[in-house]
Structure 1
């Protein structure tokens, strides 16, 4: 899971405050106000189908993204390919675990 920060309107604080946004893959999983601690979380029931659609899109678009990356710098692409390939199963497992830990 990745975390980002953004200034958003908090309904509890009734003002713009810094929020921490948590993502499972590319999907927003939860938002927490850094000032008051108000926490909004997506339900697993809503996230699982959205994650499956996002994963399908990522798998289908992967060959094109690989081709574009290779066409820009084929030496760098070939050099980084083994590490990137080895990292993908761990990345997927981490996203999947975060999604189903709820």
Structure 2
């Protein structure tokens, strides 16, 4: 999932604090663009994939713990949501990878 946020950052080209648009793919930084001068720093797609792979492995390793916490919190909600989550999870993963690979 791609998300954008605005932040006041120091621009090396403008040599002052200016508004910037910061773009993330999931939790991974994709680019930072100055809204005044248009200068953009973008992370290479290869690096995005490397970071995504590391984050994805971490998510896989922590999944049993997170599911156990959900189960303990509300067993009914967990059981009712499980079939839908099992069906939609592959689609959500494909969407995440597509977001990383696509160019703006």
Q: TM-score interval w.r.t. the shorter chain?
A: 0.7 to 0.9
Q: TM-score, normalised by structure 1?
A: 0.79
Shift of 1:55: 1.0
- Between the aligned partners of 2:93 and 2:9, the Cα distance in structure 1 is 29
Within-5 A mapping of 1:36-47: 36-47=37-48
2:78 maps to: 77
Segments of structure 1 that go 5 or more residues without pairing to the other structure are none
Q: Hey, what does 1:68 align to over in structure 2?
A: 69
Q: Residues 34 and 60 from structure 1, CA distance in 2 versus in 1: closer, same or farther, beyond 3 angstroms?
A: same
Alignment root-mean-square deviation, CA: 2.0
Q: 1:78 to 1:49 in 2, by over 3 A?
A: same
Contiguous gaps of at least 5 residues in structure 2? none
Which 10-residue stretch deviates more, 60-69 or 87-96?
A: 87-96
The CA distance in 2 between the partners of 1:87 and 1:35, in whole Å, is 40
Asked whether 1:55 is paired with 2:56, we answer: yes
2:28 corresponds to? 27
Give the whole-Å Cα distance in 2 for the aligned partners of 1:13 and 1:81.
51
- Please state how far the C-alpha of 1:42 moved relative to its aligned partner: 0.4
Query: SS of the residue aligned with 1:6?
Result: strand
> How many residues end up aligned between the 2 structures?
102
Whichever of the two has the greater Rg, that structure is: 2
The normalised TM-score by structure 2 is: 0.77
